[in-house]
Amino acid sequence: MAGYEEIFRSSVEDRERFWLRAAEALDWHVAPATALDDSNPPFYRWFPDGELNVAHNALDRHVDAGNGDRTALVYDSPVTGSRRTYTYAQLRDEVATFAGVLRGLGVDRGDRVVIYMPMVPEAAIAMLACARLGAVHSVVFGGFAAKELAVRIDDAGPKVVVSASCGIEGKRVIEYKPLLDKAIELSDRKPEATVILQREQATAQLGPIDVDWAEATAKARADGRAADPVPVRSTDPLYVLYTSGTTGKPKGVVRDSGGYATALAWSMPNIYDVDAGETIFTASDVGWVVGHSYIVYGPLLAGATTVLYEGKPVGTPDAGQFWRVVAENRVKSLFTAPTAFRAIKKEDPDGAFLAEHDVSSLRYLFLAGERLDPETYRWASNLLGIPVIDHWWQTETGWPIAANPAGIELLDIKPGSPTRPMPGWDVQVLDETGRPVEPGVDGAIVAKLPLPPGAFPTLWNDDDRYVNSYMKAFEGYYLTGDGGHLDADGYVFVMGRTDDVINVAGHRLSTGGMEEVLASHADVAECAVIGVADTMKGQIPRGFVVLKSGVDAEAEGYEERLRAELVQLVRDQIGAVASLKDVAIVPALPKTRSGKILRKTMRGIADGTDEPVPSTIDDASVLDTIRPILRRE
């Protein structure tokens, strides 16, 4: 078998042949003869003459091959105490039936459907039903504020919104219907209908445009209105997924059909080492790109079993839930965010819960979402005794830019690095003038165009913003917005967003590097470093640390002693130039629902600006708690 170097080289040197061969893993209604249309850069299009249906490839293809009784999806909900299992045949039938419901409500090829749901199987069924019809889905994280949902409804212009009566966040029940009603009231572009899944934890009052999920599907089933897959062009959009924009207006990342399906089908066996009949547990949410790619589409395209988990890594009810899910489902690859593992490490630093479960099936732990600090890497590696694989990608890219290709060849792991670029990703690091920098020198991380299949071809109804935000800074390159370096072996080191580089008395320093040092202290569970304005030095770093459970922070002199130790650690490992003298102990750090620490928001508050609270915040009370500390009140 070919190794990583040979495979990567062929993807760059003979791009079209490489991806046409990868596309053969799918069923095509019209097989593509051309891999890439590069006639209108930077608007590249993959497999422009191909036609397929992604839902057919995710479900019907496996049923038709005689694998209908294989387990497709396992729903595990510790917050409700329920569990459901779907075979490929059962899931195909559920999807076809709900596609019939949507068609009965007027949804056709190219129409948009907004999905505003909790982590329940019906969310995945709704996504796949849209794909079956050739409609474009746009999933909005369940429980998003009405104003933010309204903005997305206005931008997408959905014919139908699919929602639920409620979601469950930890121990709280959040009613969705009042939020949805308010969002529709605020919207200029009203949907023609909404479909509501009633949950027993809270029942919604239905209005004139509301349709009950259970009643509608029962009627469609009785009437025989299951919908067949509709072939679409490879370049037709499969979904729009909104990501935060610097202007406050969300950016609608467009995902095409054929390129995305090809990239995911390639990535499952080659990156995650998950083949047909094996199980992957991706502990994320379908409201984020990770959920789209590796809870729903990727595993099903591979014929694998996917676990859809409704709960938290800790607190629902304990820090052992991931291990329970792994043991009960014989999970081979676990994929979550570093934040989740820092939460587990904080609650169960010695891994006592792990000993209660048989996790011998687990071969790999994949982490992504934000930078994996070396201390969390070491803790997870020592605890599990398996490869812990950091990998790096974005909403815009749809699948990993850099990873360790476990299914091809497990490369040496370097803590702090997501390893090497994946096929098709020509990753380079440039200075401010656009020149490549030497190995080890930080700069802007970019990817040479054209981007491989699966990456976004544009933004929804906003080609200008696509060019200005991503393609204009360095001609011929995609600007990732992340900073870092390549080492002499070609390993990628992502040190954080480019605005997480601070300038201390003329010295450019990475806050990620300082966080790495703080996190190495035995008492620190997680941390954040931000740069705040300083009249003398331009910016100075401030550190914020959350302590592990069991640490006695009330002990006499503890806080002063810890602060001195942390300051000395940074001085020893980065140097006096870092000027980190200010470290505060906080009960928690403000994060998005996907686990990213809100460093920009923290920085704005510390600098005294009127920083808006992002719609993606997980728990606004955390920000309220640390606001006085940020402002030194």
Q: What 3 state SS string does 119-159 have?
A: CCHHHHHHHHHHHHHCCEEEECCCCCCHHHHHHHHHHHCCC
> Which whole number is the average pLDDT over 427-450?
94
- 312-340 mean pLDDT: 95
Find the range with the poorest average confidence among 119-133, 189-203, 481-495, 616-630: 616-630
> What mean pLDDT, rounded, does the chain reach?
93
Mind listing the pLDDT tens digit for each residue in 521-569? 999 999 999 988 876 667 889 999 999 999 999 999 999 999 999 999 9
Summarised one tens digit per residue, pLDDT across range 58-67 is: 999 999 999 9
Q: Which of 88-102, 225-239, 365-379, 407-421 bottoms out in mean pLDDT, i.e. has the lowest?
A: 365-379
Sign of torsion, CA 78 161 456 613? negative
Q: Report residue 11 as tokens.
A: 């993807």
What is the Cα–Cα distance from 287 to 176, expressed in whole angstroms?
A: 14
Quickly count: other Cβ atoms within 10 Å of residue 417's Cβ: 25
Kindly indicate the confidence band of residue 408, based on its pLDDT and cuts at 50, 70 and 90.
very high
Query: Mapping DSSP to helix (H, G, I), strand (E, B) and coil, where does residue 538 land?
Result: strand
| Pair 449, 477: CB distance under 8 Å | yes
pLDDT at residue number 163:
98
Distance CA 390, CA 392 (A): 7
Query: Does the structure show a pLDDT above 70 at 335?
Result: yes
Is 90 exceeded by the pLDDT of residue 230?
Answer: yes
- What pLDDT, on the 0 to 100 scale, is given for residue 534? 76
CB 128 within 8 A of CB 160: no
Structure confidence by residue, pLDDT tens digits, 489-504: 999 999 877 666 676 7
Angle (CA) 257-50-398 rounded to 5° is 25
Q: Is the pLDDT of residue 506 over 60?
A: no
Most confident of 261-275, 329-343, 360-374: 261-275
Residue 512: what pLDDT? Answer: 80
Q: What is the pLDDT of residue 339?
A: 83
Kindly tell me if the per-residue pLDDT of 245 is higher than 60.
no
pLDDT for position 612: 74
- Report the percentage of the chain scoring pLDDT > 90: 77
* Confidence grade of residue 604 (pLDDT, cut at 50, 70, 90): confident
Q: How confident is the model at residue 234 (pLDDT cuts 50, 70, 90)?
A: very high
* Residue 633 in this model has a pLDDT that exceeds 80: no
Is residue 142 scored above 90 in pLDDT? no
Which range, of 69-73, 180-184, 481-485, averages the lowest pLDDT? 481-485
**E-assigned strand segments in 229-278:** 232-233, 237-243, 251-256
Count each helix (H run) and each strand (E run) in the chain, helices first.
Answer: 20, 31
Element (H, E) at 24: none
- pTM, to two decimals: 0.86
Provide the pLDDT for residue 248: 56
Mean pLDDT for 329-345 is 93
User: What mean pLDDT comes out for the span 178-191?
Assistant: 95
Residue 445 · residue 420 · CB < 8 Å: no
* CA nearest neighbour of 301 among 49, 451, 88, 7: 88
DSSP per position, 550-561: T--TTSTTHHHH
Determine the pLDDT at residue 577.
67
Tell me what the mean pLDDT of segment 210-237 comes to: 97
- Which pLDDT band, with edges at 50, 70 and 90, does 592 fall under? confident
* Higher local confidence (pLDDT), 218 or 612: 218
- Using an 8 Å Cβ cutoff, are 417 and 491 in contact? yes
Please, what is the end-to-end C-alpha distance for the chain in angstroms? 62
**Per-residue pLDDT at 507:** 58
pLDDT at position 128 over 60: yes
For residue 385, name the pLDDT band (cuts at 50, 70, 90): very high
pLDDT computed for residue 372 by the predictor: 84
pLDDT at 495: 80
Helix (H) or strand (E) holding 282, with range, is strand 279-282
pLDDT reading at 171 higher than 90? no
Mean pLDDT along residues 209-235: 97
**Mean pLDDT across 261-287:** 97
Give 484-501 as a 3 state SS string. Answer: EEECCCCCEEEEEEHHHE
If pLDDT is split at 50, 70 and 90, which confidence band does 505 have?
low
pLDDT of 304 reads 98
**Res. 431: pLDDT tops 60:** yes
